[in-house]
C-alpha cells in the first residue's frame, strides 16, 4: 500500500494550526512525499508540537518526525525526535524554532511499514 498524507491548515486569530495525518508506505515506510508540503507559507515562532500515534497502526517506538522549511532546516529543532508508539506527546514552544515565509514539509522516519499518526504544529 502506498503511503498517504493529508494536510489541514487553519488560522485562529493570530494562531496558525497545521495538522498532518499520515500513513507510511507498506514497502518503504515513508509517507507520500507529494502531499506532505503545506499549501501556505508561514511566519512566526512554533508554539507547540503534538504527535499522536494511531491506535491500531501505531508507529515504531522512538520514530522521528521533522518539519522542514524551504531551506531544509528542521523548525522543530529536534523536538520531533524519538516519538512514542502509544502515547500522545507534546513539546512546548521554548524548545522549538521559528519559520519565516516558507512552506513546511513533514518527514517521518523509522516509523515502520504501514504505520500511522497525526502531527500538529501551532505557530504564532
At 33 the three-state DSSP class reads helix
- CATH topology for 4-123 is Jelly Rolls (2.60.120)
- Residue 3 CA to residue 24 CA, distance in Å, equals 4
3-state secondary structure of 35: helix
Q: Where are the beta strands (DSSP E) in 1-124?
A: 4-12, 15-23, 42-53, 64-68, 89-92, 98-102, 105-109, 116-123
Q: At residue 111, what are phi and psi to the nearest 5 degrees?
A: -85, -20
0.85 exceeded by pTM? yes
- Kindly report which listed range (1-5, 53-57, 95-99, 114-118) carries the lowest average pLDDT score: 1-5
C-alpha 81/C-alpha 93 separation (Å) is 15
Residues 10-52 pLDDT 10s: 999 999 999 999 998 887 666 655 568 999 999 999 999 999 9
Q: Per-domain residue ranges for the chain?
A: 4-123
Q: In a 10 Å sphere around its CB, with 0-12 CB exposed, 13-18 middle and 19+ buried, how is residue 16 labelled?
A: buried
CA distance 114 to 39: 25
pLDDT of residue 113 exceeding 60: yes
For the chain, the C-alpha Rg in angstroms (whole number) is: 13
pLDDT in tens, 54-82: 999 999 999 999 999 999 999 999 999 99
Amino acid at each position: 500500500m502506498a503511503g498517504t498524507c493529508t494536510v489541514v491548515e487553519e488560522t485562529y486569530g493570530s494562531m496558525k494550526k497545521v495538522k498532518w495525518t499520515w500513513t507510511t508506505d507498506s514497502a518503504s515506510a515513508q509517507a507520500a512525499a507529494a502531499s506532505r508540503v503545506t499549501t501556505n507559507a508561514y511566519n512566526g515562532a512554533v508554539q507547540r508540537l503534538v504527535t499522536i500515534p494511531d491506535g491500531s497502526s501505531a508507529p515504531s517506538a522512538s520514530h522521528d518526525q521533522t518539519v522542514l522549511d524551504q531551506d531544509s532546516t528542521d523548525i522543530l529543532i529536534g523536538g520531533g525526535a524519538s516519538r512514542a508508539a502509544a502515547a500522545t506527546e507534546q513539546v512546548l514552544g521554548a524548545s522549538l524554532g521559528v519559520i519565516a515565509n516558507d512552506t513546511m514539509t513533514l518527514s517521518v522516519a523509522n516509523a515502520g511499514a504501514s504505520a500511522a499518526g497525526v502531527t500538529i504544529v501551532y505557530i504564532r
